[in-house]
Amino acid sequence: MSTITRAEAPELTPAPETKPPRRRGRWTPYWLLLPGILWLVVFFALPMLYQASTSVQTGSLEEGYKVTWHFATYWDALSQYWPQFVRSVLYAASATILCLLLGYPLAYLIAFRAGRWRNLIMILVIAPFFTSFLIRTLAWKTILADGGPVVGALNALHVLDLTNWLGWTAGDRVLATPLAVVCGLTYNFLPFMILPLYTSLERIDPRLHEAAGDLYAQPFTTFRKVTFPLSMPGVVSGTLLTFIPAAGDYVNADLLGSTDTRMVGNVIQTQFLRILDYPTAAALSFILMAAILLMVTLYIRKSGTEDLV
Partner 1 sequence: MEQYEPDRLTPAQAAATRRSLRNGRASLTRRSLLRASAGGALTAGGLGALSACGIPAAGRTAGGTAAEDHSAKEKVVNFSNWPEYIDVDSSGKRHPTLEAFARRTGIQVKYTEDINDNSEFFGKIKPQLAAGQDTGRDIIVLTDWLAARLIRLGWAQKLDPSNLPHAYTNLSPQFRNPDWDPGRAYSYPWQGISTVIAFNRKALDGIEVKSVSDLLDNPRLKGRVGFLSEMRDSIGMTLLDMGKDPAHFTDDDFDAVIARLQKAVDKGQIRRFTGNDYTSDLSKGDLAACVAWGGDIVQLKADSPDVDFVIPASGYMTSTDNMLIPNKARHKTNAERLIDFYYEPEPAAELAAYINYVSPVDGVKPYLAKIDKSAADNPLIIPDKAMAAKSHAFRSLTQKEETAYEEKFAKLTGA
Does position 52 interact with partner 1 (CB under 8 A)? The reply is yes
Least separation in angstroms between CB 150 and partner 1: 13
- Please give the Cα distance from 299 to 279 (Å, whole number): 30
Taking the C-alpha atoms of residue 58 and residue 52, their distance in angstroms, rounded to an integer, is 13
Q: Among residue numbers 186 through 245, which ones bind partner 1 (CB under 8 A)?
A: none
Q: Is 257 exposed, middle or buried (0-12, 13-18, 19+ CB in 10 A)?
A: buried
Shortest distance in whole angstroms from residue 272 CB to partner 1: 7
* Nearest-5° Cα angle at 40, 38 to 46: 95
Contact 182, 91 (CB under 8 A): yes
Residue 63 binds to partner 1 (criterion: CB under 8 A)? yes
Kindly compute the dihedral angle of the four CA atoms of residues 237, 241, 242, 243, in this order, to the nearest 10 degrees. 90
User: Is 273 near partner 1 (CB under 8 A)?
Assistant: yes
Out of 65, 223, 228, 299, name the contact with partner 1 by CB under 8 A.
Answer: 65
With binding defined as CB under 8 A, does residue 67 bind partner 1? yes
Shortest distance, CB of residue 282 to partner 1, whole angstroms?
11
Q: Does 248 bind partner 1 (CB under 8 A)?
A: no
Interface pick for partner 1 out of 112, 223, 228, 272 (rule CB under 8 A): 272
- Of these, 139, 276, 293, 294, which contacts partner 1 (CB under 8 A)? 276
CB atoms within 10 A of CB 230: 15
- Residues 57, 67 contacting (CB under 8 angstroms): yes
Tell me the CB-side half-sphere exposure of residue 120, using CA atoms within 13 A: 5
Select from 196, 278, 286, 287 the one that contacts partner 1 (CB under 8 A). Answer: 278
Which residues lie near partner 1 (CB under 8 A)?
41, 45-46, 49-50, 52-54, 56-57, 59-67, 81, 84, 138, 141-142, 145-147, 170-171, 173, 175-176, 255, 257-262, 266-267, 269-278
